[in-house]
Amino acid sequence: MSVGFSTFLNRGTSLATPVDPARATWSAATFGQTATSVFGYDAAFVVDTEGEILVPRDPESVKRYRWVKPLLMPLLGRSRATPVPELASEGKATANVSLMKLEGRPSIAGAIPILILPNPVNSGSAEKTKFHLIAFRFLDGAALDALSKEQGLARARYSRTSDQDAHEIAFQINATETRDPIGFIIWAPELPGSQVVGRLVPVLSGAGLLITALFLALMIRLRSSLRKLSHSEETARHLALHDPLTDLPNRALFADQLEQSCQDVLSSEAGPLLALLDLDHFKEVNDTFGHAVGDELLRAVVARMKSLTGENHLLARLGGDEFAILFDRPATSDEAFSLCDQIVVEVGRPYRLCGDSITARIGCSAGLVIVSDATLTGSEWLRRADVALYVAKTRGRNRALLYDRTFDEGTIERENFKADLRRVLADEAFRLPADATGHVQAIDEFELAYQSIHQGNSEQDLSGAEALLRWRHPRRGLLSPDLFLPLIEELGFMDRLGRWVLASAIRAAANWPSTMSISVNVSPSQLKDPLFADDVLSILKAFRFDPTRLELEVTEAALFKADDIAKKSLSRLHAKGVSIALDDFGTGYSSLSHLLQFNIDRIKIDRSFVQLLGTKAEGAAIVSAVLSLSKSLGTSTTAEGVESVGQCDFLVAAGCSNLQGYLFSRPMAEQDFVNFINRHRQLKFASRA
């Protein structure tokens, strides 16, 4: 009988099962539950190599196992010495089976080892766990009844003694280990007793084979499920540490690698190099052509970067259009700097997107830092690289720059500027800068200066002025807009300050001669405000100012980013008589479509082109081309930065509508400009007299 049970437990492949260690107990529980509920064992336990029960852990089962444990230990000892294959293809697991008396009843018990592999992908790299499945079934009661029905053993019963009648046959059952008698199976034979005895052992063996086959089918299915689960976990882990669009390591994984590199500096003289890279003008492309084109552009950028970094350096996407490279330790600063320069050049080449239907061009700036101090955190090294990146952008973009301690001085000053701006501009009181009576609340430290604009004729008559914002800083004195306007945009105060500038300029111009206009610069954030047109019209109404005397100056970059809201606002204001001027023409994203799409009334020629007049032939050619274009389109022109008589004469002769620059006046305070108007009028009257 024990031979038959051993046969069915040994049938099939190994019970070695790959599973995450955290799920080992769960898997063992599955084995035990399956053995009792599906295959009809009276009891099943999963134990460790020391014989301590793992599953099930309910008090009743633990108590039952402790009662029978001493009788099962020899069986467990043989199971511990039994090797178990790790794969189904490597062979069969050997089961150990014994007949014994358990809980006072005849029983057949078996033990088989179970090997737990932590990771099916790399099972050799982690610790393996070996458990043992012990199961037994009583040979009296229901099991004997089923056996008697299948084999025709009439009225088969179990007895502790040989108390059979004269017409019955008794078969003695002996314990496998001790050979001690366990009891007798007694039945009334319909066949000769020797034939029944001969058939009893094969029947039990066949039943064991069937149970083993079912066990193996369960194990195969369980192993497949565990593999799928492990694959899902690997996928989830990968997604948690990688960017889904580019499949590059994300900020979390990069931060971990950087912290490890910082700690490794302790055991090495040279540290790795860190570079932060930021794409220049990517947002413009993304906003203009949509996110689908932006995603395609990012993938193309990553492909170019990876072709240069290869597998030796860690390239990661930190978010948006920001990337980072952690250079391998053998790389020198010169090698890293050279590689970043190559990336800047490669990223700057044009991109053909959407099946070659769109051509996009962006730039790239990089900030580098050498990780050389193990006492500093990865966050600090990222900050320093970011400072170097910021300085690279302020110095003209499209370049790589190595961090220097002096950069922090500029960063500190920048943060101090931001704190000062918050102090001055956080007051909500100037959210509505003009009331019904035309009163404008002053803002401490901020003021407007006015620079005259003159007609492009022989008399250079005064035609208007441009309002220029100035910050009278308590420590640094009078500051020009290029030093603080980007910070105001960053802090989100540009909408409020823009309304104040517009109201203050219109209030001042309301006291000038009615023939003079006022030009006011408008920021991109103002154009995106759905209430921008309403604000302008309400301010005009408050000061009873003629809309035809107001000119709004918009840069080409702002028009490039303009959405439907901005287009509707400018169209509405243009319909009311407000003029729209295109500022700094030719220095940004020049497009002739802007001149038509936004109903541009005036083109302002940038001072950089005017300064070329008289010094380079290209300057005269560029200015002449712009003037010729404006005449063809019927738009006016204003030349900025006129500083010499020669420049003035050329522009007047070429047909420029208006002139502006130091040759006529410098920016001046409101009262000084009123005095300038009066002097100009007096000179004009005197010349006529």
- Report pLDDT for 103: 82
- Report pLDDT for 387: 87
Residue 614 DSSP class: T
Least confident residue range of 341-345, 417-421, 451-455, 655-659: 417-421
Residue 481 DSSP class: G
Q: Are residues 347 and 202 in the same domain?
A: no
- Report pLDDT for 61: 84
Model confidence at 672: pLDDT above 50: yes
For residue 75, the Cα-to-chain-centroid distance in whole angstroms is: 56
Q: Are residues 312 and 452 in the same domain?
A: no
Query: Phi then psi for 117, rounded to 5 degrees?
Result: -100, 125
- Domains identified in the chain, total number: 3
Q: Are residues 177 and 303 in the same domain?
A: no
Please name which of 261, 292, 485 lies closest in space to residue 380, comparing C-alpha atoms.
Answer: 261
C-alpha atoms less than 13 angstroms from C-alpha of 483 in its C-beta half-sphere: 16
Which of 183, 199, 232 finishes a domain? 232
Cβ pair 248, 316 in contact under 8 A: yes
Rounded CA separation 13/627 (Å)? 89
Cβ pair 22, 230 in contact under 8 A: no
Structure-token pair, residue 621: 């050619």
Q: Are residues 649 and 511 in the same domain?
A: yes
- Report pLDDT for 94: 67
Q: Are residues 37 and 159 in the same domain?
A: yes
Residue 349 DSSP class: S
Determine the angle formed by the axes of helices 24-37 and 193-241, rounding to 10 degrees.
150
Whether residue 94 is contained in a domain is answered as: yes
Residue 525's CATH number: 3.20.20.450
- Report pLDDT for 331: 56
Rounded CA separation 133/113 (Å)? 6
More confident: 419 or 20: 419
In single-letter form, the type of residue at position 14 comes to S
Which of 232, 265, 294 finishes a domain? 232
Structure-token pair, residue 2: 């024990």
Q: Are residues 216 and 303 in the same domain?
A: no
Go through the chain and tell me how many residues it has: 689
Query: Phi then psi for 432, rounded to 5 degrees?
Result: -110, 95
- Report pLDDT for 640: 93
Model confidence at 86: pLDDT above 80: no
* C-alpha triplet 66, 70, 74: angle, nearest 5°: 135
Model confidence at 454: pLDDT above 90: yes
| Mean per-residue pLDDT, 387-412 | 81
pLDDT tens per residue, range 492-538? 888 888 989 999 999 999 999 999 999 999 988 888 888 999 999 99
| Mean per-residue pLDDT, 56-63 | 84
Least confident residue range of 260-264, 544-548, 574-578, 610-614: 260-264
Cβ pair 340, 305 in contact under 8 A: no
pTM of the prediction? 0.52
Q: Are residues 219 and 303 in the same domain?
A: no
Which pLDDT band holds residue 215 (cuts at 50, 70, 90)?
Answer: confident
- Report pLDDT for 19: 42
Model confidence at 660: pLDDT above 90: yes
Whether residue 74 is contained in a domain is answered as: yes
- Report pLDDT for 457: 86
Edge-to-edge order in the sheet of strand 154-159:
154-159, 181-188, 169-174
DSSP per-residue codes, 109-140? EEEEEEEEES-SSSGGGS--EEEEEEEEEESS
More confident: 451 or 438: 451
- Report pLDDT for 562: 64
* Helix ranges (DSSP H) in 395-452: 407-425
CB atoms within 10 A of CB 635: 18
Which pLDDT band holds residue 423 (cuts at 50, 70, 90)?
Answer: confident
More confident: 191 or 658: 658
N-terminal to C-terminal alpha carbon distance within the chain: 138
Indicate the SS3 state at residue 584. Answer: strand
Query: Phi then psi for 33, rounded to 5 degrees?
Result: -65, -40
Helix (H) or strand (E) holding 366, with range, is: strand 363-370
Whether residue 553 is contained in a domain is answered as: yes
Please name which of 376, 260, 250 lies closest in space to residue 323, comparing C-alpha atoms.
Answer: 250
Distances (CA, A) of 389 to 340, 342, 606, 642, 648: 12, 16, 28, 35, 41
Highest mean pLDDT among 216-230, 396-410, 579-593: 396-410
Which of 174, 203, 232 finishes a domain? 232
- Report pLDDT for 109: 87
Model confidence at 13: pLDDT above 50: no
Which pLDDT band holds residue 404 (cuts at 50, 70, 90)?
Answer: confident
- Report pLDDT for 272: 77
Please name which of 366, 320, 316, 328 lies closest in space to residue 346, comparing C-alpha atoms.
Answer: 366
Query: Among all chains, which residue has been given the structure tokens 């079912």?
Result: 214
Rounded CA separation 526/492 (Å)? 11
More confident: 316 or 150: 316
- Report pLDDT for 448: 94
* Helix ranges (DSSP H) in 242-326: 251-264, 282-289, 291-309
Least confident residue range of 208-222, 385-399, 609-623: 208-222
Q: Are residues 675 and 564 in the same domain?
A: yes
Whether residue 246 is contained in a domain is answered as: no
Highest mean pLDDT among 103-117, 610-624, 633-647: 633-647
Cβ pair 467, 685 in contact under 8 A: no
Please name which of 215, 218, 237, 212 lies closest in space to residue 20, comparing C-alpha atoms.
Answer: 237
- Report pLDDT for 12: 34
Structure-token pair, residue 142: 């229901």
Distances (CA, A) of 509 to 386, 518, 540, 604: 44, 6, 11, 21
- Report pLDDT for 321: 87
Model confidence at 242: pLDDT above 60: yes
DSSP per-residue codes, 324-346? EEE--TT--HHHHHHHHHHHHHH
Rounded CA separation 642/662 (Å)? 6
Range of the domain at 347: 251-404
Residue 644 DSSP class: S
| Mean per-residue pLDDT, 83-106 | 71
Model confidence at 606: pLDDT above 80: yes
- Report pLDDT for 549: 96
Beta bridge partner(s), residue 580: 552
DSSP per-residue codes, 588-610? SS--HHHHHHTT--EEEEPHHHH
Indicate the SS3 state at residue 482. Answer: helix
Q: Are residues 482 and 625 in the same domain?
A: yes
372 CB burial (10 A radius; 0-12, 13-18, 19+): middle
Whether residue 433 is contained in a domain is answered as: no
Q: Are residues 255 and 109 in the same domain?
A: no
Q: Are residues 468 and 386 in the same domain?
A: no
Count the helix, strand and coil residues of the chain and give each as a percent rounded to the nearest 5. Answer: 50, 20, 30
Q: Are residues 132 and 164 in the same domain?
A: yes
> To the nearest whole percent, how much of the chain has pLDDT over 70?
79
Cβ pair 614, 576 in contact under 8 A: no
pLDDT tens per residue, range 125-149? 445 677 888 888 888 777 777 777 7
> To the nearest whole percent, how much of the chain has pLDDT over 90?
19
Cβ pair 16, 85 in contact under 8 A: yes
Q: Is the dihedral of CA 285, 289, 291, 293 positive or negative?
A: negative
Model confidence at 451: pLDDT above 90: yes
- Sequence-distant (6+) residues with CB within 8 A of 579 are 517, 548, 550, 551, 552, 601, 602
Distances (CA, A) of 108 to 2, 3, 31, 97: 7, 11, 18, 7
Whether residue 568 is contained in a domain is answered as: yes
Structure-token pair, residue 415: 């943060």
Q: Please, what is the average pLDDT of the chain?
A: 79
Which pLDDT band holds residue 18 (cuts at 50, 70, 90)?
Answer: very low
- Report pLDDT for 37: 63
